[in-house]
Amino acid sequence: MIKTNKLFTRILCCLCLLTSCWAAAANKLDGVRIWAAPESTRVVFDLSSAPDYSQFTLTGPYRLVVDLKQTSTSLKLADIANNSKLVKRVRASQSPEKGTLRLVIDLAKPVAANLFSLPATPPYGNRLVVDLEDKLPPAKSQDRSLSQSGSSLRDVIVAIDAGHGGDDPGSIGPSGMYEKKVVMEIADRVAQKINTTPGMRAVMTRSGDYFVNLNKRSELARNSKADLLVSIHADAFTSPQPRGASVWVLSMRRANSEIGRWLEQKEKHSELLGGAGEIIQNTDNEQYLAMTLLDMSMDRSMAISHSIAGDVLKNLGSVTQLHKRRPESASFAVLKSPDIPSILVETGFISNPKEEKLLSSYAHQENLAKAIHKGVLRYFENNPPVDSLFASKSDIRHKVSRGESLSAIAKRYQVSVASIKQANNLKTDVVRIGQKLVIPRA
């Protein structure tokens, strides 16, 4: 009986020890990914369950230390791909607390660090995200929008936004092709064509494989004083049948088509994948502010967006099948800038096997880029900003939009009402929507 009790006690002790060891390493670090942007870096720790973490910084040299409680790993941290200018390496260090995995991020310079955890969102599991911002970003390059002759006339600036990126792959095609990759390739082609067009210049909201917050994309366009934002995506749906390109503009209401509602939901999904869960939690406040701004200054931008969308769609129809022959509308964050006309181009359905193959084709990407460029160019040739090189090279023609009066048009172009009436043989001050007016030189 005594021997039996001793055996039972030993078994119980072993079980307690095993349980203690299991509890000490209940979580597992499965992967580390580093996404480098020009002025920031995101480090993502992939975990088997939600992390219990703490962090602190050290100087001489600069380091960020992250402690993951009850966590273990078998990763070879020295093998992690890293192209960041801020992060030298990620390594493990001895933790003073048993069962805690201590990770050290060796830094090249002082940074501002923001850490937050994200729940499992396919294709990823639980994550701890570390966003590192350069405290001393490089000085902005001098504005090169002026002509080389020193003229005060400027280039038309087009912001090109390649959708998704980094942690957010976008939609994934039947063969495994990532939307973020193909739209980056098309966006680069569009930018090249704009940059080789005299009087035009392209700026990119992202230049590599990293995630840019959806609201920040418009901010980047605004900081570049963009005349237009073109966001490039590849469509997807729950079934493989839908196909064709489409162009979207902002809707003040929820999309009224099934595919539009699907895309709106996909945008929220992108925010979660990219690590903007805290922004989604503030949706009510954000929408209230956005609606206030939109009500004040959105009419003109929406009218211009719709006109450019029509031009782009017409040209896309000559190189690929269209999903819809008219611009569609939905409430996408990237389109919500009240002061910058914005369109979203869905280049085709990556969920359709035939279109996925087309989208990976060099020739098809080139044709899509040409069509987008041609549509944008056509609009600005017909409606050049008054202080642009385009305006100096051709007669200014203005298409009357809803709510515009002759006096407002004259004020915009800094000419007199009488000169516009004379140039267009107008006998009254009345103009009609869609009417095209020749604007005389000031």
> Residue 350 contacts by C-beta under 8 Å, 6 or more apart in sequence?
170, 171, 172, 173, 177, 179, 182, 234, 235, 236, 356, 359
| Cβ partners under 8 Å of residue 312, min gap 6 | 230, 247, 343, 345, 371, 372, 375, 376
Q: Are residue 48 and residue 195 in the same domain, yes or no?
A: no
Q: Specify if 16 maps to a domain.
A: no
Confirm whether 50 is domain-assigned.
yes
* Residue 296 tokens, joined: 């004040």
Arithmetic mean of pLDDT, 122-140: 82
> Is residue 148, in this structure, part of any structural domain at all?
no
pLDDT of residue 230: 97
How far apart CA 307 and CA 325 sit, in angstroms, is 14
* DSSP 8-state class, residue 378: H
Rg (CA), the chain: 27
Do 164 and 105 belong to one domain?
Answer: no
pLDDT exceeding 70 applies to what percent of the chain? 79
CATH code, 431: 3.10.350.10
Q: Is there a domain that residue 13 lies in?
A: no
For 157, list phi and psi in degrees, rounded to 5: -105, 125
Question: Do 275 and 400 belong to one domain?
Answer: no
Same domain, 310 and 234: yes
Residue 439 amino acid letter: I
C-alpha span between 272 and 167 (Å, rounded): 9
Percent share of the chain, pLDDT over 90: 53
Least confident piece of the model among 73-82, 176-185, 252-261: 252-261
Instruction: Kindly provide the b/e burial profile for residues 35-64, where b requires at least 16 CB atoms within 10 angstroms of the residue's own CB.
Output: bbbeebbbbbbbbeeebebeeeeeeeebbb
Asked if residue 304 and residue 207 are part of one domain, the reply reads: yes
Residue 394's pLDDT is what?
A: 61
CATH (domain of 112): 2.60.40.3500
User: Same domain for 280 and 199?
Assistant: yes
Based on the structure, what is the number of domains in the chain?
Answer: 3
Identify whether 1 is part of a domain. Answer: no
Q: What is the pLDDT of residue 138?
A: 58
In this structure, the answer to whether residues 313 and 410 fall within a common structural domain is: no
Least confident of 83-87, 164-168, 215-219, 348-352: 215-219
Strands (E), 168-216: 200-204
Helix axis angle for 362-382 and 283-316, nearest 10°, is 100
* 360 and 263 in a common domain: yes
The answer to the question of residue 28 being in a domain is yes
Claim to verify: residue 109 and residue 175 sit in the same structural domain: no
Asked if residue 370 and residue 252 are part of one domain, the reply reads yes
Confidence of residue 343 (pLDDT cuts 50, 70, 90): very high
pLDDT recorded at residue 204: 97
The reported pLDDT for the residue numbered 257 is: 56
Same domain for 316 and 428: no
What SS3 state is found at 270? helix
Residues 280, 186 within the same domain: yes
54 phi and psi, to 5 degrees? -145, 165
Predicted confidence at residue 439, as pLDDT, reads 80
CA distances to 29, 33, 55, 268, 384 from 118, rounded to whole Å, are: 14, 14, 17, 14, 45
Instruction: Supply the pLDDT for residue 259.
Output: 54
Boundaries of domain holding 433:
395-439
Asked if residue 107 lies in contact with residue 63, where contact means CB atoms within 8 angstroms, the answer is yes
For residues 32 and 277, which has the higher predicted lDDT (pLDDT)?
A: 32
Strands 156-162 and 228-235: parallel
> Is residue 3 a part of any domain in this protein?
no
Task: Identify the CATH number of the domain in which residue 349 sits.
Answer: 3.40.630.40
What does pLDDT average to over the chain? 83
Position 11 in a domain? no
Report d(CA 394, CA 382) in Å as an integer.
9
The token pair that represents 14 in the structure block: 């072993």
Instruction: Tell me the three-class secondary structure of 103-116, residue by residue.
Output: EEEEECCCEEEEEE
